[in-house]
Amino acid sequence: MSGFGPVSAFYVLAVLSIGSALAVMAARSIIHAVLFLVLFFVSLAAMFVLLSADFVAVAQLLVYAGAIGVLVVFAILLTPSRDRRGMETKFVGPGLLAGAVVAGTVVFIAFNTNWDTASNDFPSTVDAIGQALLNRWALPFEIASVLLIAAMIGAIVVVGGRGVDLDTHAAGPATRLVRRER
């Protein structure tokens, strides 16, 4: 891959994605962390475009930036605000070490392997992906749909429950708080 556009785009996106991933680590507020995470997803989607994986890039944008980002926001708002502070455990140092070791190993392997390189430039990945999904990988495709349904039902069962019971709730702490305030 060469030429002014792709090369400059690669470096910009590499810096952006690594920077935003680090910012997720460094962010003080968990909401900021989510926003940086979404920036990371978007920059990675742009990187996928660079790899001429346009369909995957759009799917990444749709699923990660659109759905999972929003899901994480909902999860944060549904959980207590006191857990949003003091976020690091004592494993910061060891965690960094572990991450560095893994990353170093992969980089070492990447540079010490003799890759059988080629340049597979897909003109249009949509047709190819469609053909592949419905022919060779039809069974995994169906299983994935079953998995999604199972996950959906599972999430509903885990979170769901009865709705808010007004009779018990009206006399609950919230009401008492208002009364006291008066």
Partner 1 sequence: MTALCGYVLSEWYDLRDLGNPVQALLDWINGWGDGSTFHWLAYVVAGLIGAAAIGLFLGIAMLSLIWIERKAVSRIQIRYGPNRTGPFGLLQPVADALKLMQKEALTPLAGDKYVFWLAPVVIFIPTLLVFGVLPFGPKMTAANINVAVLYIVAVGSATPLVIFMAGWSSNNKYSLLGAMRGIAMAISYEIPMVLSLLGVVLFTGHMDLNGIVQWQQKYHVWLIVLQPLAALTYFISASAELNRTPTDIAEAESEIVAGYHTEYSGMKFGLFYAVELGNALAVSGIWATLFFGGWWLFGLDRWIPAWLIFLGKMYILYGALILTRGTLPRLRIDQLLDFAWKFLLPLALVNVLVVAAEVTIWQENGISAGWVLPIAAVINIVLSGVLIVGYTQTFGFARRQRPRRARLVTDTLAAMPQ
Partner 2 sequence: MVSLEHFLVVGAVLFGIGLWIALSKRNAVLILMGIEIMLNAVNLTLLAFSRFVKSPTPIAGHIFVIFVITVAAAEASVALAMVVSVYRNRGTIDVDQIDLLRF
Partner 3 sequence: MTIQTEPFIVNIGPQHPSTHGVFRMRVVLDGEKIIDADMVVGYLHRSLEKLAEERTYTQNIPFTDRMDYLSAMSNNLGYCMAVEKLAGIRVPERGQYLRVIMAELQRIANHSMAIGTFINDCGAWQTPLMWMFAEREKILDLFEMTCGARLTCNYMRIGGVAFDIPDEFLPAVNGLLDDLPRKIDEYEKMLMENEILIARARGVGTIPRDLAINASLTGPMIRGCGIPFDIRKADPYAVYDRFDFAIPVGENGDSYDRFLVRMAELRESVKILKQAVPALPGGPYKVDVPLSVRPPVGDAYARVESPKGELGYYIVSDGGTAPYRFHVRAPSYINLSVLREMVIGASVADSIVALGSIDIVIGEVDR
In 3D, which of 99, 119, 39 has the Cα closest to residue 47?
39
The site map against partner 1 for 87-126 (x = CB under 8 A) is -------------------------------------x-x
Among 29, 32, 142, 151, binds partner 2 (CB under 8 A): 151
Q: Which of residues 52-111 bind partner 2 (CB under 8 A)?
A: 52-53, 55-56, 59-60, 63-64, 67-68, 71-72, 74-76, 78-80, 83-84, 86-89, 91-92, 94-96, 98-100, 102-107, 110-111
Residues 101, 69 contacting (CB under 8 angstroms): no
- Give the C-alpha separation, 116 to 9, whole Å: 25
Residue 104, CA atoms < 13 Å, CB-side half-sphere: 6
H helix or E strand, kind and range, residue 36: helix 30-50
Partner from partner 3, partner 2, partner 1, none binding residue 12, C-beta < 5-8 Å depending on class = none
Whose tokens are 């039809």? That residue is 138
Q: Please report whether residue 30 would count as binding partner 2 according to CB under 8 A.
A: yes
- Give the C-alpha separation, 106 to 30, whole Å: 29
Among 109, 118, 146, 164, binds partner 3 (CB under 8 A): 164
Q: Please report whether residue 120 would count as binding partner 2 according to CB under 8 A.
A: yes
Q: Please report whether residue 12 would count as binding partner 2 according to CB under 8 A.
A: no
Query: How many residues belong to the site for partner 2 (CB under 8 A)?
Result: 89
Residues 24, 40 contacting (CB under 8 angstroms): yes
Residues 6+ apart with CB under 8 A from 68: 41
- Give the C-alpha separation, 13 to 47, whole Å: 6
**Binding residues for partner 1, per CB under 8 A?**
3-5, 29, 31-32, 35, 38, 42, 54-55, 58-59, 61-62, 65-67, 69-70, 73-74, 77, 124, 126
Binding region for partner 3 (CB under 8 A)? 80-81, 161-162, 164-166, 168-170, 172-175, 177-178, 182
